[in-house]
Amino acid sequence: MERKKTFTSYDVARLAGVSQSAVSRCYKSGASVSKKTRDKVEKAAKKLGYQPNALARSLITARSNSVAVIISNLTNLYYPEVLAQLSQYFSEKGMRVLLFAVDTESQVDGVLGQVLQYQVDGVIAAVKLTLEQIKKFEDRETPLIFYNRHINSHAASAVCCDQADGATVLTQKLIDFGHKKFAYISGPEDSMVGIERQKATLTTLEKSDISDYTIWNGDFSYDGATNATCKLMNEAKQKPDAIICANDVSAIGVIDTLRYEYNIKVPEDISVVGFDGVGPATWASFNLTTIRQPVKRMTKAAVEMMLERIDTPSLANEKRVFSGIFIEGNSAKI
């Protein structure tokens, strides 16, 4: 495994007849270089196809210009959009994204070591971290921003969509319309987002003295929702007239199952609502009534907060909470 033959600043310097420092300065904005030297260097660099070695630079400047993005479940339909946006915005700011896609949140711990080793300037985590794990970043003064995960303590910054608010709005609208019997298709038990949505939903129901609801275990997935729906239809004593789903993909699974397995009309017979506002939610087959998360604004906020904190590590932690946008589709009578 012999070293690759790439050119270094010394090669450029030799060819241009200047010192290595001069070459280095040509790649640093605001450095003092005469036009003559700059021309010589640029010409030589071009001739050799020279590109500065970002690793060497990072080693000395202690800035890698890269950010780790830790995402739990890229097949979730919601996250790819988030990732694309983050990547886009960071790229515009001259930062690179080092992707850590974990299958299950249990893999997170193994990944964190890697994250630290790569000397990333910051971390965006769309997974849960323990306080201990958070502390590791704190100790290093590496800014950490959660995406759609709160942390009880104020140990880290976060960008979130207001899950509770969105769920409340949705539920209240269903109640106001006159729905009486509810079912809730839940997310995975260990999902913070799922728990918040569920809690807000149930609270809202109970505030209106509605106790006629059942909860069925989905897991944010189409298949999970399908199973939950079958169970619901087979086991529940009476059919609900509204089904509130933990996310859009679940809602889609529910709708499909109702329509194609039980020949039930949505929204005529049963209303179904989701949460997220993913692409397929707008497809004519579903035309979901849902809460859309303002992904662009959220990711942009995350990137901004990150850059601020990289420049000024002492900045206090901050949480930015965005309200979801109610989308009136045609999957619920509202």
Partner DNA sequence: GAGAAAAATGACTTCGGATGCAAAAATTCT
Partner DNA sequence: AGAATTTTTGCATCCGAAGTCATTTTTCTC
Closest to a second copy by CB, 67 vs 334, is 67
Does residue 56 belong to the site contacting a second copy (CB under 8 A)? yes
Site string for a second copy, 82-121 (x = CB under 8 A): -xx--xx--x----xxxxxx-x-------x-xx-xxxx--
3 state SS of 23: helix
Do 246 and 163 touch, CB atoms closer than 8 A?
no
Question: Both tokens of residue 96?
Answer: 């690179």
β-pairing verdict for 290-292 and 325-327: antiparallel
262 class by beta-carbon count within 10 Å (0-12 exposed, 13-18 middle, 19+ buried): middle
- C-beta atoms surrounding 225 within 10 Å: 32
Does residue 136 belong to the site contacting a second copy (CB under 8 A)? yes
Q: What whole-number distance in Å separates Cα of residue 178 and Cα of residue 173?
A: 9
Site string for a second copy, 153-192 (x = CB under 8 A): ----------------------------------------
Handedness of CA 243, 159, 303, 221 (dihedral sign): negative
Q: Name the binder of 131 from a second copy, DNA, none, CB < 5-8 A by kind.
A: none
Task: Report the residue from 28, 131, 199, 283 that binds a second copy according to the rule CB under 8 A.
Answer: 283
Phi-psi domain of 191 (left: phi exceeds 0; alpha: psi -120 through 50; beta: other): beta
Does residue 9 belong to the site contacting a second copy (CB under 8 A)? no
Q: What whole-number distance in Å separates Cα of residue 198 and Cα of residue 101?
A: 26
Chain residues in the site for DNA (CB under 7 A)? 3, 6, 8-10, 18-22, 24-25, 27-28, 32-34, 36-37, 50, 52-53, 56-57, 59-62
Residues that bind a second copy (CB under 8 A): 1, 3-6, 49, 51-56, 58-59, 62-64, 66, 69, 74-75, 77, 79-81, 83-84, 87-88, 91, 96-101, 103, 111, 113-114, 116-119, 136, 139-142, 222, 252-253, 255-257, 259-261, 279-280, 283-286, 311, 313
